[in-house]
Each structure stands twice: as structure tokens, then as C-alpha cells.
Amino acid sequence: MSLKYFILAVFSMLSINIFAQSEQKEIRFLDIESGMPIVQATFDYDGENGFSDENGRIIFSYKEGAIMKLSHINYGTWSLTDQQVQAASSKGVDYRRSVTVNLFPVTIIAMKGQSSQPKGELKIEYQDRLEHDAAHILNQTPAFNSIRKGGNYGFDPVFRGFKYDQLNVVVNGAQSVTAACPNRMDPPTSQMAPNMMERIEILKGPHALRFGTGLGATINFIPAQLRFSSQPEFYGRLSGGYESNGNVIRGESQIGSSRKSYNLSLFTSWSQGTDYTTGDDETVQAGFERESFGTNIGVRLSSKQQLRLSAIYNRARDTDFPALAMDLREDNTWMFNARHDILFEGKRLQSWNTTLFGSFVDHLMDNLLKPLDPRMLNAQTLAKTYNYGGRTEAVWALENNKLYAGADVRIEGAEGTRVREYLMGPMAGNIATDNAWQDGRIIKNGFFAEYQINGGSFDYVISGRLEFNTANVNDPTSEFTQVYPETQITQINPNFSIGLLKDFDGKLQTGLWVARAQRSGSLAERYINYFPIGQDPYEMLGNPQLHPETNYQADLNFKWSIKEESVINIDLFAAYLQDYISSTIDTALIPRLPMSPGVRSYVNIDEALKSGFEISWNQKLIAGLVHRLGIAYTYGKDLERNEPLPEIAPLDFRYALYGSYFAGRLRPEVIFRYVAEQSRISEEFGETKTPSFGLLDVKVGYQISKGLSANIGVNNLLNENYYEHLNRSVRGGNSPIFALGRNVFANLNFKF
């Protein structure tokens, strides 16, 4: 009898095992950008094959240890390991990025967990979501540095020596924000709420013309994915953190609900800090307060159409800027975005998306909290900007090739008045006003196309953009029109790029890119009205007659992969610039403020040169270790003045060693950074040499449970006293803003 039951038990276990191995599973494959289904993707899974349906879904029988191979004309070929198949079928969804992005010289800062290390990517971890300024995340890559005028806020990114409007900063390829502060206390990157973003694409060079004219690069912030579910789903997360140096407290959260036809997510974040100390125990004014609130709403109109609506409100208060004459008192920013996507099945026209957006900034700054002795005057500036427009784009499949074509419009404007109340001297008791922006306005109408050709041995990417740029002021001042009587101008800016790509059996990928990009002057470069907004104390005067700035650039990039064990990326670039927009001291002009040393006017420089490289190497080591190396260098020269270009960061070297133990629950990490001396300086702009420095950071992360994780670490462990080359000097002195000394931090994240 016992033998009978034993045989029955064994038979039952075998039956259960066989049933489990043949259990029907399903995965929906979605585009990582739009969330739309990937239709007609082929899959091969241990002899079982087929296509994804109109919902991007495949149904298959699970087989332990089997690898799933997939292919799609727009997404390339890829495979899922047994572990990845189980994870995707458990979630019911898997996201895929179009090969379009991967064609370009690009660095992607992506969400941790999207792909296994090592890749040519940096990961946004939950502690990065706690950041109040997205430029801090960009600075994780050695090619980026930031102009710093405040201790803890308003970092203005510089990439390969390109800055301000030379960088095209957009949300989801369309939306941007215009800084209201003439001194850019509120650059566009400061308005990008990190906890609402999925990843950041750094499209190097002037090649991604679909998203606008980025003379040096396009920085594309991709929002969090919409998530639709066949069953009602409720999800969220809550994170908090503390930093000892500056008593910085941070918190962020998300809560959401999804159904088959809609998805609603609410986000919020809050950060606050005080003055910090340097490595020499000196105090730097760095108080700030920052909050963000936002929502993403997704509506699935049909299996082939969806609508995405988003709104973000950013609020900043009482933020110190020791390098400037004023501090930020209030900053209120609204960002609205609506995007519609539609797919077309079985036709050459594959998809069509349209975006409408609007960004509005109210900014107040004053000098009331500045420790001035004697206090000669009180000053206050209230400024407002707007940036709104739309973008539409269609995608066609032409045999094995792909065509993108579309149009966009962006309208931006700024107004603001500085009020000066004199307290001492011969002007005591008088009040003067200065029209900072003159109600300037720029309208950009663009038409673009990109053709991707699969040529067999080589792939080609041909891009073009034609932009009509019209600018004027609605409230010109007499002192401005005396210098420039004609304030209205229309310019036509043609842009094109050609890329040649070769894949050597998947191990070595190379790309050669050449481009001609052209941009007109910004609002500040054209219309700023006697305001000290440069890197020295001279007042700046805009020039509406500036010629467009033109960049002739070549990029050569290599990517060498050895399976998943090692990935090396090498990017080389050279840029020859004509009519480079800079400034020069004009002794014929009289400054508005008596303490100003003089006036600079924006001018075109005939020729300038920039060149350099970025290298990254990710490699798996033994004992659960992975290391990552990165190095970047830029050389810049003003060929007209025969001296180095200003604000070029020196050579930057990063090395990280990190491990993964106990099934990924324990994650130690050590990061070393070395920055070389910058001795190539611009005497025209009063730059001084910056000494080299080295930093050591340590961190340990631990996954306490499925939904709870924690990090603790120390930045600048050795308490180095240093400053970056791009840090501005403290107002009224020659001492630069020194960076934080030793900083102990801890954060906790809970998600469900």
C-alpha cells in the first residue's frame, strides 16, 4: 500500500512540474518612451514562435532555462534570459527602447533595474529622485560640470564647453523652460523634477535635430512611464534622506492607480537646507527650500491610441546665491504638457504623435538678506517668463528604412523690472527702476526630418532641420534703442547632420558623424539691458543684430563589447565655430550702477575651436565586483583673440568599484574622482588658475525587504578643501565658492 502511495506521490509531483513548465504565460512589450504597444514583434522561445498582437502581447508556455529571442524592425533584436522571462511575465510587461536612440552618440542616465550592469549607462537610483536639482544628476558623468553661483541650488550645466542656450534642454523631446532670473538662478535643468523622470538621454553633438537645435548637445528628460494594467492596481513609494553638512532634509513620494484604460500618478518632493562648511571649516551661505508637486494622467483611448497629460508645480523660497548681488526670494513655476500617440497597423505610416506644452515662471529676487555693511541700497527684481508651443511628428517604415518628419513651434518671452531704493549717498531717498528684459520675445518655427537607412554593411542617419527665428521687444528702453535702433530681426537657420555606422558582429560598433548646426541668439544675448549676468561684474548689454552662431562638428565614437563582461565607449569630437557668441568690453557705454566696472556688449567672434574626448569602461570583475571608469577632457580656443575660451572645465577622471552580494541585497560602492589643474584660462574674462583635487566617496546600500531599502555613506570622505573651475567668486571678493567638506548621508525608500 505504501509503495502505491509513493508511486502516486511521485507521479503527482512530476505532473505538477510538467504542468508548471508548460504553464501559459504572457508578456506585453511596450515602447519605453510612449508606453504604446510594440506590435508585430517576432519571438522564438525554445521552438515556440509567433508575433505580438495589437496590444504588444505574446502568449507562450514557460520552459525552465529557455532563452527568448525577439526581433522588431524599430527595436532591433534582443533576448531575455530565463530570469528575465520570469521577471517580465511576473510583471506582465517589458519595455524596449527604439534603436533610434542607440544610433546616436549618446549617454543614457537610466533607472536602476532597467538593464543589468555593465552597460554604457548611469543609473538613477532612488536617492537621485530625492535631488531638488537635475543638474546634480548630470554631474555624475565626467563630461558634465556646472556653473555654480549658489551653494546648493541653480547649477547651470556645461557640456564640452557648451552652455546656456547652446544646450537644448527638453522634456520628452518637446517642452522647455526659460529662466526668468537674468543671472539664471533658475536654469531649465533646475525645473526638471527628478522624481517624475524615468531617465535622461544626453544626445551628444548637434545631431538630434528632431528635438530642436542643440549646438553642443540635446538633454532629453524622459518622464515616468505610463502603466496600464488588466487588473486594478495601486502602487506607490516613499523616500526620505538626510545630509549632515548643511542639515539637508529631503523627502519624495509617489502614489498611483492603474486600470486597463487609465493611469493616474501623483508625485511630490521637498528639500530644505542651511549653510554648509568646507574642508577648511569655512561657512558657505547655502540655505534653500524647494518643493515640487506633479501628476501624470494616461488615458488609453483604444488599443492604438493613448493620451498623456502632465502638470508640475515647482516652488522655491529663500535661496542663497553668494556669488550674486541678490538672493532668490520666491520662484513659482508651472509646467503643462499634453501628448497624443496613435499607431497605424499594416501601413507605411507607423505612428504619429503630437505634443502641446506650456511653461510659466514667476521669479522674485532681492538683496534684503545680504550681509551688506554699509547698506547703500535695497534692490528687488520681479521677473516672469513663458515658453509654450507644440510639436508633431510622424514615422514611416519604408522597406527596411525609417523616416521621421514633423514640425514644431516654440514661443518664449521674458519681462522684469529691477527696483533700486537708495539708502545712503547723494541719491538717498530716491527710487530707480531698470527694465531688465524689455518684454523680449522669440518665436521659433521649425521643420525637421530624419531618415535612417539600413544599408547592409553600413547604416546611415541623415537629419535636417530648418528653423525660422523671429525676435523683438515689446517694451524697448531709450538707453537700449540709442545703441540699437532696430530691435526686430528674422533669421533662417538651416541645420543638417549625417551619420555613418558600422557594426562588426555585435562586438565593435563605430559611428562617424558630421554636422552643421546654427542657432540665433537667446533672449539674454539679444535683449538684456545693462545687467551684470556674466562671469565678471561688468554689466551686459544685449545685441539684437547678432549673427547666428554656427557649429561645424565631427564626432567619432567606438563601442566595444565582450558579451556582458566588458563595455568600452570612446567618443572623440572636434567643433569649429563661426560667429561664436561672446562679449567684449565697450568703453563707450556707461553702466547703470556706479559700482559697476563697465559694460560688456554681446558680439560675434569670427572663429573658435573646441575638441576633446570621453572614455568610459564598465567591466565585471571577480567576487561579485564591477568597476566603472570614466574620463573627459575638452580643449577650447578663441581663435580671434588667440587665447583659451572661458568656462572650460579641466580633465575629469572618475573610478567606481561596486559589488553585489546576498542576491543583490548588499551593495557596497567606492567612488574616486580626480580633477586636474585648469591652467588654460581666459584673461579677457578675468579667469584664474584652478588647482587640482581628488575626492573619495563611500556608500553601502541594503535591501531590507522586498519593498524597503536603505543607503548610508560619506561624500568627500577625506574632507578635501576644493572648488570647481566653473564656480563663481563670492560677491565682493576674489574667493570662489568652495564645495562641501565631509558630508555623511543616509536615506530610506519604501515602495509598494
17-26, 67-76, 299-308, 350-359: segment of lowest average pLDDT: 17-26
| Res. 71 pLDDT band, cuts 50 70 90 | confident
Q: What backbone phi and psi angles, to 5 degrees, belong to 315?
A: -135, 125
Arithmetic mean of pLDDT, 70-79: 80
Cell, residue 309:
497629460
Domain ranges of the chain: 122-751
Rounded-to-integer distance, Cα 350 and Cα 100, Å: 15
Assess whether pLDDT exceeds 70 at residue 14.
no
State the chain's mean pLDDT as an integer: 90
Quickly name the fold that domain 122-751 has.
Maltoporin; Chain A (2.40.170)
Residue pLDDT, tens place only, 210-238: 999 999 999 999 898 888 888 889 999 99
| Res. 649 pLDDT band, cuts 50 70 90 | very high
H or E segment to which residue 524 belongs: helix 523-527
Closest CA to 572 of 546, 611, 620, 519: 611
Assess whether pLDDT exceeds 50 at residue 114.
no
Give the percent of the chain with pLDDT over 90.
69
Rounded-to-integer distance, Cα 622 and Cα 307, Å: 47
Rounded-to-integer distance, Cα 104 and Cα 227, Å: 27
Distant-in-sequence, close-in-space partners of 19: CB < 8 Å, separation ≥ 6: none
The DSSP bridge partners found for residue 573 are 555, 612
Q: What backbone phi and psi angles, to 5 degrees, belong to 135?
A: -65, -25
Arithmetic mean of pLDDT, 663-675: 95
Q: Which pLDDT belongs to residue 1?
A: 44
Cell, residue 76:
532591433
Residue pLDDT, tens place only, 187-208: 999 999 888 888 888 999 999 9
